[in-house]
């Protein structure tokens, strides 16, 4: 609370009462990004919460071992805005990913004839599915409401960190069913389950777990579910394959009210007699450790049955977190874009620990987190770029805990590696690089990491020397990853080189000169894949020659991943100056960048591009994927920094808008949104691990950042407008800022940054 | 140790130095019962040990959902003496059951070409299987040795409570393979696994777990395995169905030396360079809780690599336990029969708890055992009869802990029931009755239970009132189980009635007069299924009439289970006097019993009898199944008790002999052996829950029982021989014993029982 009070004090002292926004939650629209590629979910959650309780609209058919099934991709968040039906509400969701998992414990209310199959989108009445209309839908932080057309049931969802709270209002008197589907899961409907186990402990309490083999290979989620009134009757149907052993359980009549079930594929129902307008409330607590842990979470977080109280408590948490950046902007749309982006950045990494500190580790054993909150879901190839750097400013305590969580992962790793892409006690190895090292380095260089820094450095070193991982052996031997040994070799080489530079920065700070020297040398490896004859980074073979086949526009089989040679060739964030020199000098580089943003691509290009639509691309600049996120800022290293200002304002306008299809690509666990926040504020961390932020062009009118250290950093933008995108002058604490960057200390020691804007570039 | 010293003192004082046997282990032959129906295993274990490390000789093909596959039954213990090949050595086995599970973590040494399939009995060379010869086999308590013909590898096994210790000696220099098969399991070869997870922590340590859906529905066993020398190379093959998600793990080269694997069907190999005659040693610790628990067990129990030392330590444990009954007998065969039977009674229930006290409970949560050792594998329909009563005399502390374990099961049961047939944190519901109540009652009546007796009584009451279980609802309403409502209705009615009587005895002891009255009334329910018109117990229908179809010889569909009307009609152990009266009086009853033992059954009878061969039957008396185990003692309630003496000596001779096929039926977790021990000593607990033991005819020459309370009970048999089977006189502490029973107090207060034998019955 301290910083909020201080912030208010600053507000009062500066007389800028316009900043005293007491309701930022109103600007968040969780529906943004739910249409097409954004892959966000509209449901209820609290900041960094373990539970993400959200509607499911998909009907993915089961297809054996086809993890590239396009529907799998489409339903990463379980919900697509243009779908006409809802099949239920489940408790765990990724925000903005490009791959699928989770979707645990689907609950769906229904009336009339009991149906235990989900039904189809075309004929929802054939199952427990229901059609719905967006006009009957409300999505807000920690609150989701929808009217289900079948039975006119009003569904409302809210949460605490570890508890999902459902409220289903049945308009007519009669028998209400609550379907509890333990089969449903994102990414396929029927065959991710390894095992499920359920007990009806008494007439209001159910416990159990489910174990899945999905993107997380060996994952178990425990639950404790409680009803607001006693169950009238209940039952379970086992859809398991015949080889699931039933044994002497057959001697029981298990058709109804039998309190224990286990198998691969279970669906349950719970019946209640309801009066007209009566609400059945359900609380579902999760735990990564045990049903006892889930029960403890339930009792600690929501011991009552007051839905409004729970909703309000979570919205107050959101308000508190959103107040970490208090902006003023030109339009309500700008406010909505900004605070929805900030909301998206605070959706993860998510809490992965019971209230008692217990969590499941990567070794599948249970551990106790000592002095930190254990987090999970690290989409590091995305989030090292801007999300974790943003946290180093506005969530430093949490970011330190996230680094601690990554180190716990390392300690538990049989590979002795920091996470690559990890979630729910599992490493899924998605994407490339060892970008944990960047996150660790950035936190250490910026002084936010509170743990054992030397241990952290050693973890980074071990990870970056792990020869058997993704071409590192060749990279260490030859200075590049040969394309004939390991695909996407150019992307890997470039990213390893940057990560190595980050390790060097951390080593320097920790006075490990030997490591600094070694890794600064490794950080030069990007030069080994630069082909001067074409002016692009290019795949090189083991024999040292560049591969002959080379298409600078395609992203498939060209030595890159989620980016073509055009975009990826600009990926030397640790040393833009050298890169520009190598690529022919500043003048030529400006022309090169200009053509990136302005070239006209043929339609077939988009047919073969991953993860993004035409909306996610400006010219050949791909904002919908991450590798070029720093690129617009590279003009700062030329003689035309005003082009950075121009481009970033254009990207903000073109790539983000306050509608369900408002995100041009996956939000990627907040990275796309973190780019929005930084860029809107007027600066960006081109090379995390450096203490510098490249200046751009702020899109807001003003901002106040009440920091955790009690200081406040304020930004004021004079003469702001959609046309005045060019920065004429910048002052820091009333003194002219003559450099094109801000340092981390400039922010953390508190102060005031003023941008003077103009419609004309300052050339 | 105290009692051993006291026993020695007694020996010295009595001058009977022949009792000072310092090596009883020599008389144990674990091969007894391994041929045909005995279902014992020949491998290594310590008394009540968690690990049963034993060879596997089966090749059961996978058959969907066919749990009556005869091979499933044949291989309950994994080993059949007449099999020519061994496929490996696994760590968990039941002793003497009639249903299958376990067989965890199969290890097999091999040389030459690496083969990861097991091969066939006909062609063991097609896999890692090997032929073997009994001339190259040694089985002793806590030691098993065999030479595998393939590669002439000598395999030796020993254990501690929670650790299996393997020693494989390779005669020739070269590369040795250790196959680690996570697929193998008893009862089928390929499809019981739900999930397996393995980590190669370093070059000598492997950890992981496997989760199965077998007889135990939801079972997980964790392990930590360590090698005596570093692994040279290793690999894993995943035989899983294609739907097991492989994901981005594919980006690794997992073909060799990749340290982590998970899936449904894994086999691993570990290679070592060996010199001629070198032994590779392996220790495998188990845990029901975690790999950390397994590691802790390993370090606590066998921190060294001295195989002989581990073997000796376990054999010393056996010696200590076997010394609880120090007999002298006529022949070495008698000694072998007796001590092998005593060995079999001490094989279970088995320890189910880590050295730190943690165990997995029935609720699938982890629990800490406070002040007791948690045991598992309760085959209660069998063992309530004589095994637990035997423990109340010679293992009272353990029996008290077993009752505590059963109460923990009750506390964790969502059904609020004591165990029926439970193993490894699961209830499998096998067989009938609620015989936990008998075990609890017997321990309370005899004063051996050290826990909360009132809680125990309440658990028994709750269990016996559980209406939805196996006809109890009808039993409580009508006083019998109607055959049209619940099959095997007569067996259930008779056993419930006995169990009710046991509850009444416990209630009486605990001054619960209300319960005593209620349950004494229930205990009369056997009368409701007695059909005076035929003189047999007979299935009754809901309408109160006896079922018309009735075959007194058949065991199938006749209202009984594992026993026909002939045998089961004698099951009123709580009130033989009343039963005899109802059945027409003593004289007629003697004729009836005589014909049971002497009638000649047609061959087709045996074709349809469960679990036993012709060897398990004398006349129509079925000793190979349990329901008639008390029957030979019923002559004591007539005027011809000498016939009890004659019959029991005949049964001892006919049903037990010191050879692999020496058991005529399943040993049933020690019940058949406990019958042997009691009967050999000259008395038997006809009705556990009573403090009386019916006198029979001792088969030994003398016995000393050094009791845990420091007292000693001695038995001396004068004029003993195979012909002198009739008891002429009995004295207790030199005074004539004029009753036909011994009381529990007679034993526990110490003293001397002398039988005077003769070749002529005392009529």
pLDDT in tens, A318-340: 999 999 999 999 999 999 999 99
* CB-based contact B291 A67, cutoff 8 Å: no
Burial environment of residue B230 by CB neighbours within 10 A (0 to 12, 13 to 18, 19 or more): exposed
For testing contact with chain A, the best of B98, B189, B213, B356 (most A CBs within 10 A) = B213
Which chain A residues are within 8 Å of B414, Cβ to Cβ? 199-201, 259-260
CA B145 vs. chain centroid, Å, equals: 23
Which chain B residues are within 8 Å of A240, Cβ to Cβ? none
Name the pLDDT band for A415 (thresholds 50, 70, 90): very high
Per-residue pLDDT tens digits for B245-291? 788 888 898 989 999 999 999 999 999 999 999 999 999 999 999 99
Of the partner residues B67, B247, B365, the one whose CB lies closest to the CB of residue A217:
B247
Whole-angstrom distance, CA of residue B506 vs CA of residue B492: 21
* CB-based contact B468 A243, cutoff 8 Å: no
Which chain B residues are within 8 Å of A414, Cβ to Cβ? 199-201, 259-260
Name the pLDDT band for B72 (thresholds 50, 70, 90): confident
Whole-angstrom distance, CA of residue A436 vs CA of residue A442: 10
Whole-angstrom distance, CA of residue B602 vs CA of residue B599: 10
Min Cα distance A196 → chain B (Å) is 9
* CB-based contact A247 B215, cutoff 8 Å: yes
Per-residue pLDDT tens digits for B201-251? 999 999 999 999 999 999 999 999 999 999 999 999 998 876 677 888 888
Per-residue confidence (pLDDT) for residue A608, from 0 to 100? 59
**pLDDT for residue A6 is more than 50:** no
Which chain B residues are within 8 Å of A207, Cβ to Cβ? 363
Average pLDDT over residues A491-513: 98
pTM of the model: 0.95
Phi, psi of B42 (to 5 degrees): -90, -5
Name the pLDDT band for B366 (thresholds 50, 70, 90): very high
* CB-based contact B247 A215, cutoff 8 Å: yes
**pLDDT for residue A1 is more than 80:** no
Of the partner residues A67, A292, A365, the one whose CB lies closest to the CB of residue B290:
A365
Per-residue pLDDT tens digits for A255-271? 899 999 999 999 999 99
Residue that has been written with the tokens 């082909």 in this structure: A531
Min Cα distance B376 → chain A (Å) is 18
Per-residue confidence (pLDDT) for residue B241, from 0 to 100? 72
Average pLDDT over residues A554-560: 87
Of the partner residues B192, B252, B470, the one whose CB lies closest to the CB of residue A468:
B252
Name the pLDDT band for A69 (thresholds 50, 70, 90): low
Per-residue pLDDT tens digits for A270-313? 999 999 999 999 999 999 999 999 999 999 999 999 999 999 99
Which chain B residues are within 8 Å of A217, Cβ to Cβ? 245, 247, 249, 262
Per-residue confidence (pLDDT) for residue A312, from 0 to 100? 98
Percentage with pLDDT > 70 across chain B: 93
Average pLDDT over residues A224-248: 89
Residue that has been written with the tokens 């144990």 in this structure: B28
- Composition of chain B by helix, strand, coil, percent to 5: 30, 25, 45
Of the partner residues B191, B211, B428, the one whose CB lies closest to the CB of residue A247:
B428
Average pLDDT over residues A455-483: 97
Min Cα distance B552 → chain A (Å) is 25
Burial environment of residue A300 by CB neighbours within 10 A (0 to 12, 13 to 18, 19 or more): middle
Name the pLDDT band for B62 (thresholds 50, 70, 90): very low
Of the partner residues A192, A260, A291, the one whose CB lies closest to the CB of residue B365:
A291
Q: How far is CA B740 from CA A444, B51, B693, B705, B731, in A?
A: 85, 42, 9, 21, 11
Min Cα distance A50 → chain B (Å) is 21
Min Cα distance B617 → chain A (Å) is 27
Per-residue confidence (pLDDT) for residue B269, from 0 to 100? 98
Which chain B residues are within 8 Å of A562, Cβ to Cβ? none
Of the partner residues B242, B430, B468, the one whose CB lies closest to the CB of residue A253:
B468
Phi, psi of B41 (to 5 degrees): -115, 150
Which chain B residues are within 8 Å of A188, Cβ to Cβ? none
Which chain A residues are within 8 Å of B412, Cβ to Cβ? none
Ranges assigned E (strand) in B690-745:
692-695, 702-706, 712-718, 726-732, 735-736, 741-743
**pLDDT for residue A669 is more than 50:** yes
Whole-angstrom distance, CA of residue A482 vs CA of residue A71: 34
Whole-angstrom distance, CA of residue A358 vs CA of residue A408: 13
Per the CB < 8 A criterion, the answer to whether A159 and A51 are in contact is yes
For testing contact with chain A, the best of B235, B358, B414 (most A CBs within 10 A) = B414
Average pLDDT over residues A110-125: 94
Task: Determine the Cα angle at A63 with ends A61 and A65, to 5°.
Answer: 145
Of the partner residues B191, B194, B249, the one whose CB lies closest to the CB of residue A195:
B194
Which structure tokens are listed for B424? Answer: 């490894």
Which structure tokens are listed for B427? Answer: 């209830």
Q: How far is CA A453 from CA A309, B33, B94, in A?
A: 41, 63, 52
Min Cα distance B564 → chain A (Å) is 21
**pLDDT for residue B15 is more than 50:** no
For testing contact with chain B, the best of A189, A208, A251 (most B CBs within 10 A) = A251
Min Cα distance A381 → chain B (Å) is 14
Cβ atoms within 10 Å, residue A688: 27
Cβ atoms within 10 Å, residue A739: 12
Please state the ipTM of this predicted complex.
0.94
Contacts 24+ apart (CB under 8 A), A580-583: A580/A634, A580/A637, A580/A638, A582/A527, A582/A530, A582/A532, A583/A530, A583/A535
Min Cα distance A326 → chain B (Å) is 41
**pLDDT for residue B524 is more than 50:** yes
* CB-based contact A363 B244, cutoff 8 Å: no
Average pLDDT over residues A501-526: 98
Of the partner residues B209, B243, B258, the one whose CB lies closest to the CB of residue A64:
B243
Lowest-confidence segment of A470-484, A605-619, B668-682 by average pLDDT: A605-619
* CB-based contact B415 A259, cutoff 8 Å: yes
Average pLDDT over residues A73-81: 93
For testing contact with chain B, the best of A202, A243, A561 (most B CBs within 10 A) = A243
* CB-based contact B247 A429, cutoff 8 Å: yes
DSSP strand pairing (B143-148 vs B130-140): antiparallel
Per-residue confidence (pLDDT) for residue B608, from 0 to 100? 59
**pLDDT for residue B6 is more than 80:** no
- When the pLDDT of each residue in chain A is averaged and rounded to a whole number, the result is 93
Min Cα distance B28 → chain A (Å) is 35
* CB-based contact A191 B290, cutoff 8 Å: no
Q: How far is CA A297 from CA A199, A314, A352, A375, A613, in A?
A: 18, 15, 12, 16, 41
* CB-based contact B194 A194, cutoff 8 Å: yes
Which chain B residues are within 8 Å of A368, Cβ to Cβ? none
Average pLDDT over residues A93-97: 97
Whole-angstrom distance, CA of residue A500 vs CA of residue A522: 6
Residue that has been written with the tokens 């125990």 in this structure: B456
Of the partner residues B64, B364, B428, the one whose CB lies closest to the CB of residue A242:
B64
Per-residue pLDDT tens digits for A192-204? 899 999 999 999 9
Min Cα distance B366 → chain A (Å) is 8
Per-residue confidence (pLDDT) for residue A611, from 0 to 100? 56
* CB-based contact A365 B469, cutoff 8 Å: no
* CB-based contact B197 A364, cutoff 8 Å: yes
- When the pLDDT of each residue in chain B is averaged and rounded to a whole number, the result is 93
Of the partner residues A199, A218, A243, the one whose CB lies closest to the CB of residue B65:
A243
Per-residue confidence (pLDDT) for residue A241, from 0 to 100? 72
**pLDDT for residue A381 is more than 90:** yes
* CB-based contact B199 A244, cutoff 8 Å: no
**pLDDT for residue B662 is more than 80:** yes
Per-residue confidence (pLDDT) for residue A10, from 0 to 100? 42
**pLDDT for residue B1 is more than 50:** no
Per-residue confidence (pLDDT) for residue A757, from 0 to 100? 98
**pLDDT for residue A2 is more than 90:** no
Per-residue confidence (pLDDT) for residue B606, from 0 to 100? 63
Give the chain A residue whose CA is nearest to the CA of B65. Answer: A243
Min Cα distance B554 → chain A (Å) is 22
**pLDDT for residue B557 is more than 90:** no
Per-residue confidence (pLDDT) for residue A763, from 0 to 100? 84
Per-residue confidence (pLDDT) for residue A247, from 0 to 100? 82
Q: How far is CA A590 from CA A479, A530, A638, A664, in A?
A: 28, 18, 7, 25
- Composition of chain A by helix, strand, coil, percent to 5: 30, 25, 45
Name the pLDDT band for A5 (thresholds 50, 70, 90): very low
């Amino acid at each position: 609370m301290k910083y909020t009070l201080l912030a208010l004090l600053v507000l009062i002292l500066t007389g800028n009462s316009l900043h005293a926004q007491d309701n930022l939650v109103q600007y968040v629209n969780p529906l943004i990004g739910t249409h097409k590629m954004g892959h966000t979910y509209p449901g209820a959650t609290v900041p960094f919460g373990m539970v993400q309780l959200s509607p499911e609209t998909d009907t993915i058919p089961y297809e054996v071992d086809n993890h590239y099934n396009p529907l799998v991709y489409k339903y990463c968040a379980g919900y697509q805005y243009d779908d006409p039906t809802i099949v239920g509400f489940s408790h765990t969701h990724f925000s903005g990913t490009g791959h699928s998992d989770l979707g645990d414990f689907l609950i769906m209310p229904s009336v009339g004839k009991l149906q235990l199959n989900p039904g189809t989108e075309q004929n929802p009445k054939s199952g427990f599915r229901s059609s719905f209309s967006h006009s009957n839908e409300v999505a807000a932080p920690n609150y989701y409401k929808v009217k289900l057309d079948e039975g006119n049931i009003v569904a409302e969802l809210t949460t605490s960190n570890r508890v999902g709270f459902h409220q289903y209002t049945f308009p007519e008197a009669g028998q209400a069913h609550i379907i509890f589907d333990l089969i449903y899961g994102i990414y396929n409907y029927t065959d991710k389950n390894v095992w499920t186990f359920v007990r009806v402990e008494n007439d209001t309490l159910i416990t159990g777990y489910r174990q899945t083999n999905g993107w997380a290979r060996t994952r178990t989620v425990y639950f404790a579910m409680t009803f607001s009134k006693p169950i009238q009757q209940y039952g379970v149907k086992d859809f398991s394959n015949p080889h699931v052993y039933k044994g002497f359980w057959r001697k029981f009549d298990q058709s109804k009210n039998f309190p224990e079930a286990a198998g691969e594929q279970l669906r349950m129902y719970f019946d209640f007699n309801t009066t007209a307008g009566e609400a059945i409330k359900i609380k579902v607590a999760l735990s990564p450790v045990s049903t006892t842990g889930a029960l403890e979470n339930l009792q600690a977080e929501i011991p009552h049955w007051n839905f409004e109280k729970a909703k309000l408590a979570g919205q107050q948490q959101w308000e508190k977190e959103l107040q970490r950046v208090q902006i003023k902007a030109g339009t309500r749309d700008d406010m909505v874009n900004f605070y929805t982006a900030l909301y998206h950045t605070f959706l993860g990494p998510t809490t992965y620990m019971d209230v008692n500190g217990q969590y499941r580790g990567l070794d599948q054993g249970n551990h106790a987190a000592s002095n930190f909150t254990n987090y999970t879901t690290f989409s590091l190839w995305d989030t090292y770029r801007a999300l974790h750097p943003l946290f180093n400013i506005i969530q430093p305590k949490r970011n330190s805990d996230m680094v601690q969580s990554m180190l716990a992962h390392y300690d538990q790793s049989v590979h002795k590696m920091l996470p690559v892409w990890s979630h729910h006690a599992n490493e899924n190895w998605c994407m490339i690089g060892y970008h944990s090292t960047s996150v660790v380095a950035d936190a250490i260089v910026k002084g936010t990491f509170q743990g054992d820094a030397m241990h952290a450095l050693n973890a980074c070193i071990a990870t970056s020397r792990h020869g058997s991982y993704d071409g590192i052996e060749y990279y260490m031997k030859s200075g590049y990853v040969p394309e004939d040994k390991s695909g996407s070799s150019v992307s890997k080489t470039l990213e390893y080189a940057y990560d190595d530079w980050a390790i060097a920065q951390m080593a320097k700070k920790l006075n490990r000169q030997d490591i600094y020297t070694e890794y600064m040398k490794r950080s030069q490896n990007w030069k080994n894949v630069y082909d001067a004859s074409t002016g692009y980074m290019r795949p090189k073979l083991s024999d040292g020659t560049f591969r002959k086949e080379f298409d600078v526009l395609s992203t498939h089989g060209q030595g890159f991943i989620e980016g073509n040679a055009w975009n990826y060739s600009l990926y030397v964030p640790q040393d833009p100056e050298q890169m520009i020199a190598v690529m022919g000098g500043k003048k030529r580089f400006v022309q090169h960048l200009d053509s990136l943003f302005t070239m006209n691509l043929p339609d077939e290009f988009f047919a073969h591009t991953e993860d993004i639509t035409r909306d996610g691309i400006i010219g050949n600049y791909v904002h919908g994927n991450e590798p070029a996120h720093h690129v617009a800022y590279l003009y700062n290293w030329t003689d035309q920094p005003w082009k950075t200002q121009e481009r970033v304002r254009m990207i903000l306008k073109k790539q983000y808008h306050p509608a369900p299809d408002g995100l041009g690509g996956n939000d990627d666990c907040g990275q796309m949104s973190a780019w929005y926040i930084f860029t809107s504020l007027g600066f960006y961390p081109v090379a995390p691990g450096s203490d510098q932020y490249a200046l751009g062009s702020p899109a807001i009118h003003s901002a106040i950042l009440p920091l955790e250290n009690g200081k406040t950093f304020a930004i004021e933008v004079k003469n702001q407008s959609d046309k005045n995108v060019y920065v004429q002058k910048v002052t820091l604490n009333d003194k002219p800022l003559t450099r094109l960057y801000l340092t981390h200390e400039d922010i953390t020691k508190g102060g005031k940054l003023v941008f003077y804007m103009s419609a004309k570039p300052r050339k």
